[in-house]
Amino acid sequence: MASLLKLSTALRRPTLLAGSRAGSTYAAAFRTALSNEPATEVTTLDSGLRVASESVPSQVATVGLFIDAGARYEDKNSNGTANFFEHLAFKGTTSRSQAALEQEVESLGAQLDASTGRDQTSFTARCLSKDVPKLVEILADVVQNPRLDDADVKRAREVILGEIEQVDASNLREVVFDHLHSTAFQGTSLSNTVWGPSSNIRSIKADDVRGYVNSHYKAPRMVLAAAGDVRQAELEKLAEKYLGKVESTFDGKAPQLSAVRFTGSEMRVRDDSIPLAHVAVAVEGCGATDSDALALSVASALIGTWDRTFGGGVNNASKLAVASAHDKLCHNFESFNLTYRDTGLWGIYFECDPLLCEDMLFNVQNEWMRLCTMVTDGEVERAKRQLKTRLLAQLEGPQSICEDIGRQVLQQGIRVPLHDLERRL
């Protein structure tokens, strides 16, 4: 239990940084390389739809439609509708049957994907760069003209209910994070799960999904993003051609995010039939555009991620990892910084023996306090480098770049250039 306390003397020793001149030269070259990365171009059409792209020298491209629609825009009666539409989106349109749609996509060698979150929904296609115009047309058709017949709704309902049961039984991490949100933001829309309650799924009908799409899928709430061998001017023409008829006005008041209220509280769900305890602890963070967002990400990187299958546990740079490996406090842990449009959650998730929960929490609390009182410049520098590595690794290839463009442009209207992000860090 006292592992972190035993390490306190060593933590006070300053970290020696060798090769400062070589490091300075490398840092300058690194910044130059980032500044030479292609810029993300963003254009807003007359309808309010935003078009964004980044030219990447690749024969493969990713194009996607990103929409301000997700669990946060639902109430207790409609929660789950956004995810329901995700399961119906590729079941055919008014002009394409499901079989025709699938054959067309497969003949192009493309891959379609859809994802629903709390803040936004996305529909993406991975294809050859030369096929981007065709995939834009297909995605536009899927979003604007979904078939939504009763038979498809019935089948989707059965699939979703089965997936909810599977998640509850085998994906305890996701269950814990749903509980975390419902506790931290209780009484607000951010407490909604993406899946929605089973009672809602059983009652959702085609008209409910159609009404949700008609209310939220408006041009000012949409971004068409692409990454690959694409040109912004050509993408704008495609947007005008295939998405020009998307309405820009709302019937009544436009959907708005409700106010968020963080409630510091505790929820414990005990199940002695499973071998490990799954625990998440968090405090209120900040929104994605807040000036403190990067600082919290660095703090999260400083605590780090660890699994007992990793090699060199007792020699890990993370002090919490050293304590966990030395005293076998947990099987794994991960520090996280979840950011939404206007708030966030900063904390840690871990899996451990049920009898060691208090010991692990004791060490977590000590590590959090150490961030406020004893952390060294060397540790912060190491965390910043690890964060840079992770952020850059996540942007390898057109698919991850496209998803990053869509997310950022939806949240803040622009995509922060990599060299600017590095400067802030």
pLDDT at 36 over 80: no
pLDDT at residue 254, as a whole number: 78
Q: What are the two backbone dihedrals, phi and then psi, of residue 38, each rounded to the nearest 5 degrees?
A: -60, 140
The edge-to-edge listing of strands for the beta sheet with 277-284 is: 277-284, 344-352, 332-339, 305-307
- Is-contact 123 139, C-beta < 8 A? yes
Distance CA 122, CA 85 (A): 11
Which fold is adopted by the domain 277-392?
Cytochrome Bc1 Complex; Chain A, domain 1 (3.30.830)
First to last CA, the chain: 34
* Residue showing tokens 């490990």: 276
Asked about 86 being catalytic, the answer comes back as yes
- Is-contact 90 190, C-beta < 8 A? no
pLDDT at residue 21, as a whole number: 54
Q: Which of 147-161, 246-260, 265-279 has the highest mean pLDDT?
A: 147-161
pLDDT at 255 over 90: no
pLDDT at residue 23, as a whole number: 57
Lowest mean pLDDT among 14-23, 39-48, 314-323, 354-363: 14-23
pLDDT at 423 over 50: yes
Distance CA 371, CA 336 (A): 15
- Is-contact 64 122, C-beta < 8 A? yes
Distance CA 65, CA 222 (A): 7
pLDDT at residue 315, as a whole number: 74
Q: Which CATH superfamily is domain 38-248 in?
A: Metalloenzyme, LuxS/M16 peptidase-like (3.30.830.10)
Distance CA 232, CA 425 (A): 29
- CA quadruple 188, 264, 181, 167: dihedral sign: negative
Tell me which of 54, 86, 379, 403 is the catalytic residue: 86
Share of residues in the chain with pLDDT > 90 (%): 75
Residue 252 DSSP symbol: S
Q: Is 181 helix (H, G, I), strand (E, B) or coil?
A: helix
- Measuring CA to CA, which residue among 29, 18, 31 is closest to residue 378? 18
Q: Which positions ≥6 away from 277 have C-beta within 8 Å?
A: 351, 352, 353, 354, 357
Cα angle 192, 198, 199 (rounded to 5 degrees) comes to 100
Q: What band does 15 get if pLDDT is binned at 50, 70 and 90?
A: very low
- C-alpha distances (whole Å) from 396 to each of 31, 128, 256, 259, 409 are 18, 17, 34, 35, 19
As annotated, the residues of the chain forming the CATH 3.30.830.10 domain(s) are: 38-248, 277-392
pLDDT digits (tens, 9 = 90+) for 168-189: 888 999 999 999 999 999 999 9
pLDDT at residue 312, as a whole number: 66
pLDDT at 5 over 50: no
